Amino acid sequence: MPSPITITDVQTILTEPANSRLIVVKILTSEPGLYGLGCATFTQRFRAVHTAIQEHLRPFLIGRDVDRIEETWQMAMVHSYWRNGPVLNNAISGADMALWDIKGKRAGMPLYQLLGGKCREAAACYAHADGKDEQEVEANVRRFMEQGYQYIRVQMGGYGGRASELHKPEGAPDGAYFDPRDYVRKALRAIEHVRRAVGPEVELLHDIHERLRPIDAVGFAKDVEPYKLFFLEDPLAPEDLEWFRNIRGQCATPIAMGELFNHPREWTPLIQDRLIDFIRMHVSQMGGITPARNVAAFANMYGIRTAWHGPGDVSPVGHAANLHLDLWAPNFGVQEWCRFPDLVYEMFPGTPEVRGGYMYPNDRPGLGIDVDEKLAAKHPCKDYVDRWTQTRTPDGTPVRP
């Protein structure tokens, strides 16, 4: 019986090619030339994840059999005793994706084949249309429609909007201010304008980004119902899950949730009680491909679709993992897409391509993606204190971003 292929080293690649600090895990093996890549991106705390990988996960992984993905994931999750937090989840996710990448390369198959094969040839994507006013939002929606997108997220002035005037107290501290009531009025006006302008055929989405108090989120979901959104994203924070029952009981607006979820007890009750319509976890935050595969299958039993988190602070490796899950899952809904610049495609050969609003695989073994480490090193991560997550309401109160 041949000796197993084992993990010989775990490396972390930190790079910032497009204003998001990305973390890529590279697992090297005892088979010459065989390695795997995974995404561990937690851009706001990238150094904490880097330390978790190099100082804690690396010694744990070296010497382990690359084939035993399930056992490795299970043991890694409990090895620290304290579990289900974003830093360690991202570290574990990077390793988990890299091991699936290795398994696909060993099999000579794309990852979706190992999951059970395709249910579709490509994954429908949605793009983000923003603007300073309704007319600019409409123009951006039409631009994406011309490119073939059938799913478009409508925002106006970013998350929470940009209030035209804020009545702040004297001495108010610096921060990313917004007015929740002003945001509600303007967002509803923008969605109404776009729906009337472009008609019913294009699917519109909107992201509250947990910016509202629960009772106001319930009201927003009711008020937006006539405009037939494909889904309303993150209307509530993970701390307010009990309020989903209020939304469900008062309107038929489809709900997507999960971007901030770390713990199975966050998504399990929402799925089994059918309180949401789409699950959209950040696959590296939830722990990788292994739990994402399980959650997709679980959600499928309850008629709930997938819509994995896919912004610019998911690395191209993470987007590749999303795509393989999308192609396989019978309950796929839609995939968020951030539209990377050319530099990212050069740095990460094999980054999924979107044509006519659909994301296509390249059919290379494993995740089908690589990284140019020399180019990545020319774009190191910068240290700075994020401003957009220092969110405040008009009187200066710190609130969730």
Task: Place 165 in a pLDDT band, splitting at 50, 70 and 90.
Answer: confident
Residue whose entry in the numeric block shows the structure tokens 């979706």: 112
Lowest mean pLDDT among 152-161, 196-205, 343-352, 361-370: 152-161
Task: Place 226 in a pLDDT band, splitting at 50, 70 and 90.
Answer: very high
Range 380-397 average pLDDT: 94
Can you read off the two tokens belonging to residue 315? Answer: 């690395």
Query: What three-state secondary structure class fits 375?
Result: helix
Contact residues for 209 (Cβ-Cβ < 8 A; gap 6+): 159, 160, 233, 234, 401
The CA distance from 308 to 287, in Å, is 13
Query: What three-state secondary structure class fits 37?
Result: strand
What pLDDT was estimated at residue 160? 87
Its sign, for the CA torsion 325, 326, 329, 333, is positive
Is 159 tagged catalytic?
Answer: yes
Structural domains for the chain: 7-112 (3.30.390.10), 114-363 (3.20.20.120)
What pLDDT was estimated at residue 101? 98
- Diameter of the chain measured on Cα atoms: 76
Task: Place 163 in a pLDDT band, splitting at 50, 70 and 90.
Answer: low
Task: Place 167 in a pLDDT band, splitting at 50, 70 and 90.
Answer: confident
Is 209 tagged catalytic?
Answer: yes
Q: Is the pTM of this model over 0.85?
A: yes
Of the residues 126, 159, 177, 358, which is catalytic? 159
Residue whose entry in the numeric block shows the structure tokens 């851009």: 43
CA 118-120-125 angle, to 5 degrees, is 120
Q: 14-35: per-residue pLDDT in tens?
A: 999 999 999 999 999 999 999 9
Q: 57-94: per-residue pLDDT in tens?
A: 999 999 999 999 999 999 999 999 999 999 999 999 99
What integer best gives the mean pLDDT of the chain? 96
Q: 281-340: per-residue pLDDT in tens?
A: 999 999 999 999 999 999 999 999 999 999 999 999 999 999 999 999 999 999 999 999
The CA distance from 273 to 221, in Å, is 19
The CA distance from 306 to 297, in Å, is 10
Of the residues 206, 209, 319, 324, which is catalytic? 209
In three-state form (DSSP H/G/I as H, E/B as E, the rest C), the secondary structure along 110-160 is: EHHHHHCCCCCCCEEEEEEECCCCHHHHHHHHHHHHHCCCCEEEECCCCCC
The H-or-E segment that residue 279 falls in is strand 278-279
What pLDDT was estimated at residue 164? 64
Give phi and psi for 143, each to the nearest 5.
-60, -45
Flag whether pLDDT at 1 surpasses 90: no
What pLDDT was estimated at residue 162? 75
Contact residues for 224 (Cβ-Cβ < 8 A; gap 6+): 188, 191, 206, 232, 253
